[in-house]
Amino acid sequence: MQLGTRWTSGDEPPAAVPAELRDAIAAVDESMPVDQLGQPRPRWTLTWLERRPVAELDTGVIVELNADGEAVVRHDAGDEFA
């Protein structure tokens, strides 16, 4: 595994984040409830597993490419959301 980069949910992803993941990441960010208590926003981590990009949010939400090269959103428990 190769470490990529980290950024805060809701911020513009760094240039290292592949275009194929960006729409799914934005959809996850938009679905996050707005924090009224001033808690820090969760952070994304981009890693590369077997040369495939994987973006994981601190909450356990994962965005990765399926075998067809399409972005899939799931929770670390294995459930697909999109």
The 10s digit of each residue's pLDDT in 8-62 is 999 999 999 999 999 999 999 999 877 767 678 899 999 998 889 999 999 999 9
Residue 81 counted as domain residue: no
Number of H helices, E strands in the chain: 1, 5
Confidence of residue 82 (pLDDT cuts 50, 70, 90): very low
Residue 49 counted as domain residue: yes
Domain of 59, in residue numbers: 2-10+18-29+41-75
Residue 80 counted as domain residue: no
Rounded to an integer, what distance in angstroms lies between the CA atom of residue 8 and that of residue 41?
Answer: 6
- Look at residue 78 and tell me whether its pLDDT is greater than 70: no
Number of domains in the chain: 1
Residue 34 counted as domain residue: no
Residue 51 counted as domain residue: yes
pLDDT on residue 62: 97
Ranges of beta strands (E only) in the chain are 2-8, 43-49, 52-57, 61-65, 71-75
Could you tell me how many residues make up the chain? 82
Rounded to an integer, what distance in angstroms lies between the CA atom of residue 47 and that of residue 31?
Answer: 22
pLDDT on residue 79: 55
- Look at residue 2 and tell me whether its pLDDT is greater than 50: yes
